[in-house]
Amino acid sequence: MFTNEVAKFITNSMKIELNSIVDKLNEVELKEFKADLIELVEYCVGELISYEPNRVDPVMCLSNQNSTEDAINKYALELAERIGDHEKVNEVIDTLRHSFSCFAYNGLHQLYTRQENERWHPSVVLTEVLEPNDIETLDEAVILYRGCDLVEYESKNFGQAWSTSKDRATDFAYRHYASQPWFERKKRIVLKAVYPKDKVLFSDQSIEFEVVVDPDHLAKVEKCT
């Protein structure tokens, strides 16, 4: 679907599971505009590839919007205008625009921390430590919580994003997504687990108390009562 260069950048630099984009663009509802969406991805990633060698340090750069971000936003908005009133297609365009412009603005840190999980989003899977972080503030054995669907517990296919705050996890389980059409309260739960500090991939204890894990290292996963 994509050129090798684009596919490798999406997978290796952006840490996005390529199939999460491929499967979305293959949906029947998007068939008429599939070629346009592929061109959008190719264009945006091409811009990112060209920009990456000149990325400004440090990672948490607070500079103004850069020309690559401008180009990505312009291309996506023009495509949406050309396509017109097609809500599902325009949602995909806007989500891809958001993802690519985040990466243009501040790399993987911005892409991961600014995901819009209320609707479809390319699946970002961290495989290495994301900086900056505050991992050093955590205990050696971290007690973590996660609000999720019951099926996640039953399948043992756990997500990466957990929290040191049970209240925050409860919010994600029962309140954060309550307005979404797929939400079923009776199928939502809060999980508790233990995780080793030296295996943490990212931590931000300032607002959401988030800890990103490699699920293979989770221990003593249980449902909270």
Query: What digits encode the pLDDT tens for the residues 73-130?
Result: 999 999 999 999 999 999 999 999 999 999 999 899 999 998 877 789 999 999 999 9
In percent, the amount of the chain with pLDDT more than 90 equals 83
Strands (E) across the chain are located at: 141-149, 161-163, 188-196, 202-204, 210-212, 219-223
Specify whether 108 is located in the same domain as 14.
yes
**Residue 203 DSSP class:** E
Q: Which tokens hold the place of 1?
A: 């679907």
Give Cβ neighbours of residue 29 (< 8 Å, ≥ 6 apart).
88, 89
Pairing status of strand 202-204 against strand 219-223: unpaired
* pTM, to two decimals: 0.88
Summarised one tens digit per residue, pLDDT across range 22-32 is 999 999 999 99
Q: Phi and psi of 165, rounded to 5°?
A: -105, 120
> Residue 21 falls within a domain, yes or no?
yes
- Measuring CA to CA, which residue among 135, 133, 161 is closest to residue 147? 161
CATH number at residue 212: 3.20.170
Specify whether 87 is located in the same domain as 10.
yes
The domain tally of the chain equals: 2
Last residue of a domain, one of 48, 80, 113: 113
Q: At what angle do helices 67-83 and 87-113 cross, to 10 degrees?
A: 160
Q: Domain limits at 216? A: 135-223
Specify whether 12 is located in the same domain as 84.
yes
